[in-house]
Amino acid sequence: MTDKGPRSAGGAWYQHLLLAPPLVFFAAFAVFPLLFTLYVSLSVWSISGDHRFIGFGNYAELLTSPDFQTTFFNTVAFAVATVLVEYVCGMTAALMLYRSRAGQGALRLAFLLPMMFTPVVVGFIWRTMFDPSYGPVDALLRWVGLPSVPWLSERPWAFAAVVIADVWQWTPFMFLIIYAAMRALPTAPLEAAVVDGASSRQVFWDHMMPMLLPASLTAILLRTIESFKLFDVVYLLTGGGPGVGTATITLSAYFTGLRNGDLGSAAAMTFLLLVVVLVVTTVLLKVAARIGRTKPRRRVVELPQTSPSEGVPA
């Protein structure tokens, strides 16, 4: 190549220098903390500052610890449960609003309200709601004649309580993305489907859902990444209890590192979480890319097969 375009890697040294400021920031605020955390996770590192490199000791200890296994399982289970329920609820709400004729503005605002609370407030709201002595949820159960439920102190209920609180707060996020995508859908194909005789169920499943798939995946991806980092609501609602029954990785990293002063183990926990999130994100992005590719792909003209070895004379 004689002519180097503006995008080629060559060019004067000062052109590269112009990239330095963002790279310095990236190194200082992303690369360094990441590598430092990795180093900490490979050490015995007390909060007092004493530290000693020990290799994979922290990881080995964590992976064999039943408490950490529970925590790990909790984190994944919370992520799956909350994202699933939030998606279904968000889609339902979006569809209801999309099909309603009046009151869209007010309802839209009402739907978004929970998202505007800080998680601490949400934690307190639901802690009050689920309180065994004065909580409205138990009062409601008693009123319809059902037995009282130990919401925050026994395992399946505590788990459900956390899911409910998270769903309450984050369904609006799913709703917002899906509703926006719904409003942006071309109306003509949907009208055509109606004229073609489709039932409203068919219009939704056969046409709206496939057309909403990219937006759905985006919403699911964003919520999945966030929900793996679930902390505030659990911290306030159950404190991770009973035992470690509702503890998440972030929560136990906090307790291990900042309460018990074992920074090495805490760093190892967060690093494991990072690996999980990376894997899940990669898988979801692959799925999204495959779906996106159903759009026109250049047709390869099929020629009679000649293997490469045949093409090259010996």
Partner 1 sequence: MTAELKVSELSVTYGDVAAVRIDELSLDAGEFGVLLGPSGAGKTSSLKAIAGLLPGAAGAVHLGGRDISRTAPEERDIAMCFESYALYPHLTVRKNLEFPLRAPRRVRELTAQERRRRVDEVADVLGLGQLLERRPAQLSGGQRQRVSLGRALVRRPTLLLLDEPISHLDAKLRNGMRAELKRMQRDMGVTTLFATPDQGEAFALGDRVFVLDAGELRQVGEPTELYLRPSNVRVAELLGAPRINLVDGEVRGQRVTVLGLERPAEGLRDGPVLVGLRPADLTVGGHRELEAAVVAVQPLGNAAIVTVKVSGQTLRVLTQGAFDEWQVGDAVGLGVRSGSLLLFDPVTTMCVKAGI
Q: Is residue 196 within the footprint of partner 1 (CB under 8 A)?
A: yes
Q: Is residue 89 within the footprint of partner 1 (CB under 8 A)?
A: no
Binding test (CB under 8 A) with partner 1, winner from 186, 304, 311, 313: 186
Query: What count of Cα atoms within 13 Å lies in the side-chain half-sphere of residue 37?
Result: 17
DSSP string, 89-158: HHHHHHHHHHH--S-HHHHHHHHHHHHHS-HHHHHHHHHHHT-TTT-HHHHHHHHTTPPP--TTTSHHHH
Segment 279 to 298, residues that bind partner 1, using CB under 8 A: 294-296
What is the distance between the alpha carbons of residues 73 and 190, in angstroms, rounded to a whole number?
A: 42
For residue 215, the minimal CB distance to partner 1 (Å) is 14
Q: Is residue 97 within the footprint of partner 1 (CB under 8 A)?
A: no
Q: Is residue 211 within the footprint of partner 1 (CB under 8 A)?
A: yes
Binding mask 133-172 for partner 1 (x = CB under 8 A): ----------------------------------------
Beta bridge partners of 262: 46
Q: Is residue 7 within the footprint of partner 1 (CB under 8 A)?
A: no
What is the distance between the alpha carbons of residues 102 and 125, in angstroms, rounded to a whole number?
A: 30
Q: Is residue 207 within the footprint of partner 1 (CB under 8 A)?
A: yes
Q: Is residue 204 within the footprint of partner 1 (CB under 8 A)?
A: no
The count of residues interacting with partner 1 (CB under 8 A) is 21
What is the distance between the alpha carbons of residues 264 and 155, in angstroms, rounded to a whole number?
A: 29
Binding test (CB under 8 A) with partner 1, winner from 18, 19, 195, 303: 195
Q: Is residue 198 within the footprint of partner 1 (CB under 8 A)?
A: yes
For residue 189, the minimal CB distance to partner 1 (Å) is 5
Query: Residue 137 is encoded by which pair of tokens?
Result: 């949820």
Which single residue is written with the structure tokens 């503006």? Answer: 6
Which single residue is written with the structure tokens 């769903």? Answer: 167
Which single residue is written with the structure tokens 């926006």? Answer: 180
Q: Is residue 104 within the footprint of partner 1 (CB under 8 A)?
A: no
For residue 295, the minimal CB distance to partner 1 (Å) is 6
Stretch that binds partner 1, among 14-22, 90-98, 203-211, 279-287 (CB under 8 A): 203-211
Buried-exposed string 83-103: b where 16+ CB fall within 10 A, e elsewhere: bebbbebbbebbbebeeeeee
Residues within the interface to partner 1 (CB under 8 A) = 101, 186, 188-189, 191-199, 202, 206-207, 210-211, 294-296
